[in-house]
Amino acid sequence: MADTSVLPNPLREGIRLHRTPEPCAMVIFGASGDLTKRKLIPALYYLYREHMLPAGLSVIGCARTPATDESFRKELSDAVRNFLHLGSESDAFVKSFGEGIFYITDNFSDQKAYDQLKLLLGRLDRERGTCGNRLFYLATPPSFFPVIVKHLGATGLAKPQVPGRSWTRIILEKPFGRSLATAQELNRVVTSVFDEEQVFRIDHYLGKETVQNLIVFRFANGIFEPFWNRRYIDHVQLAVAEELGVENRGSYYEEAGLVRDMIQNHVLQLLSLVAMEPPAAFEATAVRDEKAKVLKSIRPIPDDRVNDFTVRGQYAAGFVGGQKVPDYRSEPKVSATSATETYAALKLSIDNWRWADVPFYLRSGKRLPKRVSEISIQFRRVPHLLFQGAGGEGIEPNVLSLRIQPNEGISLKFCAKLPGTTMQIRPVQMEFRYGESFGAVPPTAYETLLLDCMLGDATLFNRDDAVEIAWKLMDPILERWQQDGAKGLAFYEAGTWGPAMADALIERDGRKWIRL
């Protein structure tokens, strides 16, 4: 008879199994915005269609735009039809899923609207069986976060309605502050009303399949972990590139810039997953503890050496996808003398035993040749060139690449002999792609993250300490750039891979950016 005492215990080991959440009501503040139409409702619809949502799930939209339940349902039905290309299938949305959608006109500072919300939630508990479980999603500009949180507290909606039997959670969209001081103040306000365990800070990058698979890749395969360290890895590159410019977000981007918009959150989160130590279990506390340790180990860049380890750029006019595009300063709601960065490259070091002397190169930008997010681990070169005269002098190092978007997958570059009677060596690629291997489209990040929040699984969400550590690292860089103004700002032609100074940043170490 098998010894069942050594069989895995999913609950003990923190394995995330497929479960259906308990019935609940989801309240979306800022429900008239693009995020609700483009991401949230389509994600909920897919989950609903795949029978992964509880019966009686109710969605309440709150926004300043006047609307009725019927007009809001019609608006969201149109959004599902347009963004998911479902055709007549969206008729079912109106008849079934749409029946659980409601709307309240709310300017976010009117206490009467929250009283109305409380009455509606109580009615949904009775009529649709939502059991007092509430999920509040703040899809508003960050300036409204404190206002909404305080009103939820004053109305008594922040605490579980039936202690021990119901739950209340809140999702905050990034940015989580715009500096260390503002992030600390936001955390103080939120945790004065909600317990930290109730707070889910969402970063949609962490919900992408390849990002989640990075943890599996590292810790479920015995062949990789032994060489995931300074002895075998030469350096790591993390790239997040976008073809688009700032579009209609000029006023936001003037306040934020690339580092606040991408590096402080998305890219540093990816770095922490690449570099973290094995967690004791695949559960929220253990995983987030290890991620925070990595961020704490990143060597701060001194104020007087910011320009030695960073490059900032701004796109000039050029061509992207064969179309001529304007320079950043000509975009709507952008200053004609703006020094805001639309590109950034950083060299970071992690001061611990695993990663000592292994540089991490980060780059992200707008108006680059294509949209791609990729993590590249370059291994050290062979210690002795055995194949002299066979192309061995130019043997390229092995590179392991994890493609986050688009075409999610993993590739490994290694050297092989060309067919023939002579010894000729060329690099080749070993490829794995999700779509080809599993024959299914992976869920969107918001599908994964919304479901996890309903289940109370915070593994893929940011914790308050990690957010503050990331700001502590970025603040000196941003402050120095602000002091310098346009001095040191490098321009790059739209449709290219960034300014020449970014190439110099990595090439002075004898390395090159990996082709994306």
CB-based contact 70:76 (threshold 8 Å): no
For strand 233-241 and strand 372-379, is the pairing parallel, antiparallel, or unpaired? antiparallel
Q: Which of 428, 426, 410 is nearest to 418 (CA)?
A: 426
- Where would I find the beta strands (DSSP E) of 19-70? 25-29, 58-63
> How many residues in the chain?
516
For strand 233-241 and strand 101-105, is the pairing parallel, antiparallel, or unpaired? unpaired
Angle, CA 124 vertex, CA 122 and CA 127 arms, to 5°? 115
C-alpha span between 179 and 280 (Å, rounded): 32
SS3 readout for 394-423: HCCCCEEEEEEECCCEEEEEEEEECCCCCC
By CB atoms closer than 10 A (0-12, 13-18, 19+), residue 425 is middle
The single residue of 51, 235, 266, 384 carrying the catalytic annotation is 266
DSSP code, position 446: H
Q: Which residues contact 226 (CB under 8 A, 6 or more apart)?
A: none
CB-based contact 375:404 (threshold 8 Å): yes
Would residue 266 show up in a list of annotated catalytic residues for this protein? Answer: yes
Q: Which two tokens stand for residue 468?
A: 């503050």
Active-site residue list: 266
